[in-house]
């Protein structure tokens, strides 16, 4: 399954992508040493149709999709806070040749202002690679990921500054160098990483040294007041293997790992499930949102509906969630997980493909247009937005930035306010179809969904008061 794609694009300008994480065993655009960590995002592509941006139920392509306002309403983002004065730092390899114009098109479509500043930073060396040649699909996958990360970090905190940190290739040394420079350059930023490598591939030698270098970067980030986030993976508890297999860097105790959810009840018309039953003027549940249809085709989001663990066999994807084989139980998980090792995810967010987010890609020639993305890679930049909003609220109260997050999040979740700050996910599991193992969700913390998804307004208040 590594490197597999259903391509492309024909006349349809709207596709469905899942930001699946994989370790890339062969070389990237620069030759990888045999013991390199080589991170990769590898979107799996499913053609879809066209859709109205005002309708979270995409009738034309038999999938549910969401705009920024849909998710802002469903998750209860607070009015009056937009991340102003904060910096969200997106890290990707290769970048995208159209990332700035893509963001402008995205903003125009959804009525969003441009970010106060948008910086593309390639201090570690700007990539010199096109989409052609044997690595073209790898580079294109990173370009897709880059547009997703930038647009959705900005969408949910439009007042925050955006810094796109571009590594020249996806090797451990390049990513580590780019992050080390950026951490020194942007203290107090919120760093989102929508990439990962299976822990099973980290077997000693050079790539273990690269993991130690990355861990030191995250320690430096914590000392600088940075918050560091990473996606927990998109292929279940085993990540296509025969035993459980966590994804790094989400499994690092200095990183907050982001898992995935899908709507409950779940709908996927491509798999033949019946459409949600909606009567005009009567609220009904569509994906994670409860909607009220004013006409047969206009169903604006009105409130939160329900969620379960993200697991979509039709697309061959499910949230990561597993015990680490590298890190023992950190102090913030003592007495919480029942494990002797670090477990991920810590928290979750919508990651469903049928229930994905609209993103503009402008480097595809005649096929450029809006696409639907799913995967835990969509959750990390949106959690970065939540932290930006919380840091803004803390600044208004003359408090320092949150910085290292896990102690604070677990403290809130273990307290009396858990039910008001998180949606506790109690349904579903992260056993990818065809694999032998997975974890089942239950009340409180579980390895399939962490503490659950945010009730953003209440969580921001708790974070601001912490």
pLDDT of 267: 86
Q: What is the 3-state secondary structure (H, E, C) of the chain?
A: CCCCCCCCCCCCCCEEEECCEEECCCCCCCCCCCCCCEEEECCEEEECCCCCCCCCEEHHHCEEEECHHHHHHHCCCCCCCCCCCCEEEEEEECCCCCHHHHHHHHHHHHCCCCCCCEEEECCCCCCCCCCCCCCHHHHHHHHHHHHHHHHHHHHHCCCCEEEEEEECCCEHHHHHHHHHHHHHHCCCCEEEECCCEEHHHCCCCHHHHHHHHHHHHHHHHHHCCCEEEEECCCECCCCCCCCCCCEECCCCCCCEEEEEEEECCCCCHHHCCCCCCCCCCCEEEECCEEEECCCCCCCCEEEECCEEECEEHHHCEECCCEEEEEEECCHHHCCCCCCCEEEECCEEEECCCCCEEEEEECCCHHHCEEEEEECHHHHHHHHHHHHHHHHHHHHHCCCCCCCCCHHHHHHHHCCCCHHHHEECCCCCECCCCCCCCCCECCCCCECCCECCEECHHHHHHHHHHC
Compute and round to an integer the Cα radius of gyration of the chain. Answer: 20
> How many Å apart are CA 163 and CA 384, to the nearest integer?
12
For the full predicted model, state whether its pTM sits above 0.75: yes
Whats the size of the chain, residue-wise?
A: 466
> How many Å apart are CA 59 and CA 334, to the nearest integer?
46
> How many Å apart are CA 291 and CA 303, to the nearest integer?
7
Write down the domain spans for the chain. 15-50+70-261+310-465
pLDDT of 265: 87
pLDDT of 42: 53
Average pLDDT, the chain: 86
> How many Å apart are CA 218 and CA 253, to the nearest integer?
9
- Residue ranges in the chain whose pLDDT is less than 50: 1-30, 44-49, 51-54, 59, 132-134
Q: What are the pLDDT digits (tens) for 84-139?
A: 999 999 999 999 999 999 999 999 989 999 999 999 999 877 776 555 444 556 88
Q: Which residue has the tokens 């806070």?
A: 81
pLDDT of 433: 95
CATH code given to domain 15-50+70-261+310-465: 3.40.50.200
- Both tokens of residue 213? 């270098």
């Amino acid at each position: 399954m590594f490197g597999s794609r259903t391509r492309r694009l024909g006349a349809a300008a709207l596709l469905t992508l899942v930001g699946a994480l994989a370790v890339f065993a062969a070389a990237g655009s620069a030759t990888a040493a045999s013991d390199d960590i080589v991170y990769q995002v590898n979107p799996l592509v499913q053609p879809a149709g066209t859709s109205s941006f005002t309708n979270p139920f995409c009738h034309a392509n038999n999938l549910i999709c969401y705009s920024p306002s849909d998710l802002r309403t469903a998750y209860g983002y607070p009015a009056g806070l937009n991340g102003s004065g904060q910096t969200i730092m997106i890290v990707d390899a290769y970048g995208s040749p159209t990332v700035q114009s893509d963001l402008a098109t995205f903003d125009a479509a959804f009525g969003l202002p441009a970010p106060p500043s948008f910086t593309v930073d390639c201090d570690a060396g700007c990539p010199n690679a096109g989409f052609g040649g044997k690595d073209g699909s790898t580079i294109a996958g990173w370009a897709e990921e880059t547009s997703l990360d930038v647009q959705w970090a900005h969408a949910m905190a439009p007042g925050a500054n955006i810094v796109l940190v571009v590594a020249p290739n996806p090797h451990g040394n390049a990513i580590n160098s780019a992050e080390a420079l950026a951490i020194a350059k942007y203290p107090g930023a919120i760093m989102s990483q929508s990439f990962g490598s299976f822990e099973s591939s980290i077997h000693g030698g050079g790539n273990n040294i690269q993991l130690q270098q990355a861990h030191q970067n995250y320690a430096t980030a914590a000392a600088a007041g940075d918050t560091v986030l990473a996606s927990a993976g998109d292929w279940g508890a085993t990540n296509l293997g025969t035993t459980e297999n966590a994804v790094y860097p989400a499994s690092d105790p200095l990183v907050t790992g982001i898992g995935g959810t899908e709507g409950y009840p779940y709908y996927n018309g491509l798999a033949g499930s019946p459409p949600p039953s909606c009567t005009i003027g009567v609220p009904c549940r569509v994906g994670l949102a409860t909607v009220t249809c004013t006409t047969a085709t206009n169903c604006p989001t009105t409130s939160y509906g329900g969620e379960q663990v993200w697991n979509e066999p039709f697309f061959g994807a499910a949230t990561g969630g597993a015990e680490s084989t590298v890190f023992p139980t950190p102090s913030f998980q003592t007495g919480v997980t029942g494990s002797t090792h670090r477990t991920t995810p810590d928290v979750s967010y919508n990651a469903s493909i049928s229930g994905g987010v609209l993103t503009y890609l402008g480097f595809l020639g005649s096929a450029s247009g809006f696409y639907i993305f799913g995967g835990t890679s969509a959750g990390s930049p949106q959690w970065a937005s939540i932290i930006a909003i919380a840091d803004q609220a803390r600044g208004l109260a003359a408090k320092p930035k949150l910085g290292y997050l896990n102690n604070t999040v677990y403290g809130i979740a273990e307290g009396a306010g858990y039910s008001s700050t998180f949606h506790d996910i109690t349904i579903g599991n992260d056993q990818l179809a065809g694999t032998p193992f997975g974890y089942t969700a239950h009340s409180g913390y579980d390895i399939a969904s962490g503490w659950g998804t945010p009730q953003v307004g209440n969580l921001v208040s708790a974070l601001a008061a912490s």
